[in-house]
């Protein structure tokens, strides 16, 4: 852990998305120095994430991190890099899986440095603006207030 902390000076959590190649590449390279998990129930995740500085995950794991005020790296099918206000829509186009994003793992150090400069408020705002139930329902057209159908 000392070498990783010297290099990265933080703890990371990676959520196993089972079918993602990026997870296994990161696991192979840093697995001894990271906390690797398989599954934490959604009703318990907030009790776990506060122990970490950054979360590397895909899909819901990214939004759980952002909602907790933590920066998130997208690592699923491929490494997608840091989720930021200016690129979150691009991440969402591929369900925050990193699919066809192919960011180079060499950039991970840069992404971690940038992640550490994000405020918890910025992270929570991204989760609220892009991942809330109301936002999702509005996007698919059933969240709008419509007059009741009278038969």
- pLDDT tens for 92-118 read 888 888 888 888 888 888 999 999 999
pLDDT score, position 20: 61
Q: Per-residue DSSP letters for 87-123?
A: THHHHHHTTTS-TTT---GGGHHHHHHHHTTS-HHHH
Single pTM value for the model: 0.69
pLDDT digits (tens, 9 = 90+) for 7-24: 344 455 444 444 466 667
Backbone angles phi, psi at 84, to 5 degrees: -130, 160
Q: Where are the beta strands (DSSP E) in 2-149?
A: 12-15, 35-37, 54-57, 72-75, 79-82
pLDDT confidence band for 37 (50 / 70 / 90): low
Distance of CA 103 to the CA centre of its chain: 15
**At residue 4, does pLDDT exceed 50?**
no
């Amino acid at each position: 852990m000392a070498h990783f902390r010297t290099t990265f000076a933080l703890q990371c959590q990676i959520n196993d998305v089972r079918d993602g190649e990026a997870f296994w590449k990161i696991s192979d390279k840093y697995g001894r120095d990271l906390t690797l998990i398989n599954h934490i129930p959604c009703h318990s995740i907030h009790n776990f994430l506060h122990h970490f500085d950054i979360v590397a995950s895909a899909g819901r794991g990214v939004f759980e991190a952002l909602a907790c005020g933590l920066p998130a790296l997208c690592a699923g099918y491929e490494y997608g890099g840091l989720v930021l206000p200016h690129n979150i829509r691009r991440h969402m186009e591929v369900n925050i899986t990193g699919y066809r994003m192919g960011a180079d793992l060499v950039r991970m150090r840069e992404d971690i440095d940038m992640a550490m400069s994000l405020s918890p408020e910025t992270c929570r705002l991204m989760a609220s603006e892009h991942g809330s139930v109301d936002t999702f329902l509005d996007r698919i057209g059933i969240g709008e207030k419509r007059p009741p159908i009278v038969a």
